[in-house]
């Protein structure tokens, strides 16, 4: 079943209400996973997509889409695609030009192979290395080899580190099991990862008290939960779609209620107490860490005393930390 397709500025965009079912994905690459002497024929599909709402730039006066031309400022002409070449600027204003024959000479041999180098533990890879995710589906005649590799990786708990060439660029990649599929994450090479050591803002020293650290850990524990991707939504996109739909329908756009601004908290301990109290309230617990109160000081003085508990009628009240 298809819903209404909305047209923005003369360009057909993704429907505001998606059609039911899953669109058929397009194969973007065919090759094989190679490890040892084993080749597993595979097809590559893009596994993720961005849901950004796309806009055209228009002339405000007549609402005509603005053109973007590839114009040579010296010749003052629009340059057609066949007259555009690739040049590397080795000095300011000086270029060396490479044509298709130059690129063909350095063609990497394994252009159609996900060449596995090592098998490692997933926990050893920092997420900073990941770029983009692709599905790897079995190619023609490769179903058994595909299933064997998938099951062997699942049983061993390992993932594969490989090299692959996609669209004339070599990538480092991680191949792993996701649900009943093999997925490939393209990765940055180590030389592409910048070091935070160059950030001048990190060149400082502070002293953390035991109470501050304990309360920060307690706050993390109170906010800890099982990862459920379904509960995370793009609030900005939903609000923007609501404005677009309202404008299309000719309705008055309602302002999104602003979140109340949190009071400016100077003292770190007070901020931690307030955060823990709010976390307890959201879980239906009764907060007992009062800002500057005796209950708050009791929790701060004794790391073994929990800052909150369920309904106070469920247990007898504990003694105050003053020894009464």
Asked whether residue 155 is domain-assigned, the answer is yes
Same domain, 183 and 236: no
Strands 86-91 and 7-8 come out as: unpaired
Looking at residue 152, its pLDDT comes to 94
Are 164 and 148 contacting, i.e. CB atoms less than 8 angstroms apart? no
Under 8 Å between Cβ of 283 and 222 = yes
pLDDT at 282: 76
One domain for residues 29 and 152: yes
pTM above 0.85, yes or no: no
- With respect to residue 63, please indicate whether it lies within any of the assigned structural domains: no
> 130 with 31, same domain?
yes
Structure tokens belonging to residue 134: 């692709």
What distance in Å separates the CA atoms of residue 166 and residue 27, rounded to the nearest whole number? 13
**How high is the pLDDT of residue 36?**
80
Token pair in block for residue 172: 């480092």
Give CA–CA dist 189/179, Å, rounded: 27
- Considering the domain architecture, whether residues 125 and 30 belong to the same structural domain is answered as yes
Q: Which of 160, 192, 224 is the last residue of a domain?
A: 192
Same domain, 183 and 270: no
Query: Are 119 and 261 found together in one domain?
Result: no
Q: Is residue 92 part of a domain?
A: no
Same-domain check for residues 125 and 180: yes
Q: Say if CB 189 and CB 129 are below 8 A apart.
A: no
Are the CB atoms for 271 and 216 separated by under 8 Å?
no
Instruction: Give CA torsion, residues 159, 161, 164, 166, to 10 deg.
Output: 60
Which pair of tokens denotes residue 164? 């692959």
228 within domain boundaries:
yes
pLDDT on residue 17: 37
Q: Percentages helix, strand, coil for the chain, rounded to the nearest 5?
A: 30, 25, 45
> Is 83 among the domain residues?
no
User: Which residues form the domain of 135?
Assistant: 25-52+108-192
* Concatenated DSSP letters of 167-221: TTEEEEEEEEEETTEEEEEEE--GGGSPPGGG-GGG-------HHHHHHHHHHHH
Specify whether 158 is located in the same domain as 253: no
d(CA 58, CA 66): 5
Output the pLDDT for position 264.
60
Q: Are residues 263 and 293 in the same domain?
A: yes
Q: Are 35 and 182 contained in the same domain?
A: yes
Q: Which is nearest to 321 in space by CA: 287, 289, 291?
A: 289
Same domain flag for 218 and 177: no
CATH code of 170's domain: 2.40.290.10
201, part of any domain: no
What stretches of the chain adopt beta strand conformation (E)?
A: 7-8, 11-12, 29-35, 38-46, 71-72, 77-78, 86-91, 94-98, 113-120, 130-138, 159-166, 169-178, 181-187, 286-287, 308-309
Is 263 within the bounds of a domain?
yes
Same domain flag for 306 and 173: no
pLDDT profile of the chain (324 residues), mean per 10: 36 38 73 86 88 86 89 92 91 89 67 88 94 94 93 95 87 95 95 90 88 88 86 84 84 66 65 79 66 41 40 44 39
* Count of structural domains within the chain: 2
Residue 262 belongs to a domain: yes
């Amino acid at each position: 079943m298809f819903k209404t397709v909305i047209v923005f500025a003369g360009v057909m965009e993704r429907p505001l209400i998606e059609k039911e079912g899953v669109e058929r994905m397009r194969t973007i690459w065919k090759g094989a996973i190679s490890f040892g002497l084993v080749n597993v024929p595979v097809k590559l599909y893009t596994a993720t997509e961005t849901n950004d709402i796309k806009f055209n730039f228009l002339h405000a006066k007549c609402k005509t889409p603005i053109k973007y031309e590839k114009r040579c400022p010296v010749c003052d002409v629009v340059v057609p695609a066949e007259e555009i070449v690739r040049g590397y600027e080795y000095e300011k204003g000086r270029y060396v030009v490479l044509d298709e024959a130059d690129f063909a000479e350095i063609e990497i041999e394994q252009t159609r192979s996900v060449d596995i180098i090592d098998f490692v533990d997933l926990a050893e890879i920092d997420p900073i290395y990941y770029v983009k995710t692709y599905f790897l589906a079995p190619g023609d005649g490769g179903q058994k080899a595909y299933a064997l590799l998938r099951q062997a990786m699942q049983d061993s708990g390992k993932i594969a580190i490989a090299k692959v060439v996609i669209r004339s660029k070599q990538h480092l990649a991680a191949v792993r099991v996701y649900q009943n599929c093999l997925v490939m994450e393209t990765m940055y090479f180590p030389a592409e990862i910048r070091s935070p050591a160059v950030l001048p803002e990190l060149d400082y020293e502070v002293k953390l008290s035991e109470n501050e650290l304990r309360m920060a850990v307690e706050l993390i524990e109170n906010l800890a939960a099982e990862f459920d991707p379904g509960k995370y939504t793009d609030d900005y996109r939903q609000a923007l779609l609501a404005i677009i739909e309202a404008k299309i329908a000719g309705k008055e756009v309602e302002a999104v209620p602003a979140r109340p601004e949190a009071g400016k908290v100077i003292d770190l301990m007070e901020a931690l107490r307030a955060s823990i109290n709010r976390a307890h309230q959201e879980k239906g617990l009764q907060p007992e860490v009062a800002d500057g109160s005796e209950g708050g000081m009791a929790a701060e003085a004794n790391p073994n005393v929990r800052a909150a508990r369920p309904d106070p009628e469920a247990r007898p009240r504990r003694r105050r930390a003053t020894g009464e």
